Amino acid sequence: MSDTLKKRTLNALVWSFIDKCGQQLLYFISGIILANLLTPEDYGKIGVLTLFITLSGILVDSGFGSALIRKKKATETDYSTIFFFNLAISVFFYLVLFFAAPLIADFFEIPSLTLIARILFISIIFQGFGLIQQVRLTKHIAFTHLARINIIAILAGSTVAIVYAYRGGGVWALVMQQLLITLLRTILLWIYGHWYPTAVFSPKSIREFLAYSSHLIGTGVLNAVYNNIYPMLIGKGYSTASVGFYTQAHRFQEIPSSLVATIFRSVAFPVLSTINDEPERMIRIFGKYIRTISFFIFPVMALFIVIAEPLVLVLLSEKWATVIPYLQRLCIAGAFSPFIILYYDLFNTIGRSDINLKTEIVKKILLTVGIFFCFGKGIIALIWLWVAYTLASLAASMWLGQRFTSYRAARFIRDIVPCLLLSAIAAAIAWWVFLSCTSLLSRLIVPLLVFSVVYLLGTYSARVEIWKEFFKWKAERNK
């Protein structure tokens, strides 16, 4: 990796880390406060609507954001054309969902959902206004600005939501939180982006990007539907409170999983896209990303499995105890999902977004069959199905990576095994300590400390690569 690209990547990773850590920390803190002020039913009402917002976001972007990032010399005409396209699509989908809101409420047998949905879905239009500004900042690796934008928006929106929940706002506190965060983020993107569209719309630009983005749309839609289908299934087949429990477990698991995935994804795609004409160099850097992800994701997820019970009971109280077994199982899937996402971006980088679409179609057909057999067997059975699906998806990504790039499956296994094995050893020792603790607080703190010491000493003794990079970086700073 050249010094210039290495410095840009390191700077981008640092600011992306600050951005994503700041976001997750704020969501984590505000989530704990709101969970103690609200009920599982409140979270369940928002949970069943998540699919519609996520799906609309995918369709509004239409894959053109990634296409613009990938294109080395995007023009002002390209940016303006996609901006107006995104805006028009966002208004269209809001109107569709506005009139569909009563049907959604009837489907879940929650009459109050009509008004909640109509207000919450306004965030789709806010998102449409800010997509191109975000694309431009990402393309130019301006993660300093993105960090400030996201942290300010989440801090302000969550603070207002907490105050409103404290005053008895109920589910509307969650609606207000999402609307304000999306609105403030869009306003700040315009302020920091220093870009404004011109009155131009080029069908040629749309056609140019469509061949690439059409596969992204298909893949994105499939992922949006199936990644958010569980809250809908649980809401229809079980209860609104059950949706709230599942949603809370998923959010806890998603904090480390999403944090690691989004940090590297936000940096990996633009960086790898700049060197996609140098296959060997690209794969070398991709392998480094895999090893770094494994260093962080495996220990965090293993630790969450060990301390799930005291973590939930201390932070969320006894009323959320149902979350514990859901969280422990979801963490198994969460430990491997960031690698699937990184493979997804690798295929996009080499211009083979069609691989992702074809693979997702097959995987989703198999998942649908699994859901058919597991739906009536309880929520735990559905979660175990998701774990199996995640592991199978990773195996498919490894095979495809070996087929279409020089990154072999055996190399992937060698890259992740050291941290995976050391995490398992640390978890076993921490679990033994956990069983000997008596008080709730000691069962949270003592295993955490023991796990951290064992894992850090183990990876240092094994000379895991990230320690070498750390000491090299420290030596350069001290010069």
Query: How many angstroms separate the CA atoms of 469 and 169, rounded?
Result: 49
SS3 431: helix
The residues near 217 (Cβ < 8 Å, ≥ 6 apart) are 58, 59, 62, 63
pLDDT at 210: 75
Confidence class of residue 118 from pLDDT cuts 50, 70 and 90?
very high
SS3 239: coil
pLDDT at 301: 94
List for the chain the helix, strand, coil content (%; round to 5).
90, 0, 10
**What percentage of residues in the chain have a pLDDT greater than 90?**
42
User: Burial of 62 by CB count in 10 Å (0-12 exposed, 13-18 middle, 19+ buried)?
Assistant: buried
pLDDT, tens digit (0-9, with 9 covering 90-100), for 318-374: 889 999 999 999 999 999 999 998 888 888 787 787 787 788 888 888 988 999 898
pLDDT at 474: 64
Query: How many angstroms separate the CA atoms of 358 and 363, rounded?
Result: 9
pLDDT at 471: 67
pLDDT, tens digit (0-9, with 9 covering 90-100), for 202-252: 888 778 777 667 666 777 777 777 777 888 888 888 888 898 999 899 988
Written as one letter, the residue type at 397 is S
Average pLDDT, stretch 391-405?
91
Average pLDDT, stretch 300-305?
94
More confident site: 438 or 388: 388
- Which of 72-76, 86-90, 208-212, 412-416 is predicted with the least confidence, judged by mean pLDDT? 208-212
The model's pTM is 0.76
Residue 30: which of 213, 173, 149, 220 has the closest Cα?
A: 173
Query: Taking all residues of the chain, what is their mean pLDDT, rounded to a whole number?
Result: 86
Query: How many angstroms separate the CA atoms of 90 and 84, rounded?
Result: 10
pLDDT at 18: 81
**Beta carbons of 46 and 169 less than 8 angstroms apart:** no
pLDDT above 80: residue 2: no
pLDDT at 161: 96
- Which of 255-264, 334-343, 386-395 is predicted with the least confidence, judged by mean pLDDT? 255-264
Which DSSP letter does residue 111 get? T
Query: How many angstroms separate the CA atoms of 294 and 208, rounded?
Result: 37
The residues near 74 (Cβ < 8 Å, ≥ 6 apart) are 68, 139
Query: ∠ CA(198), CA(124), CA(43), 5° rounding?
Result: 160
Q: Greatest CA separation found in the chain?
A: 69
Average pLDDT, stretch 14-18?
75
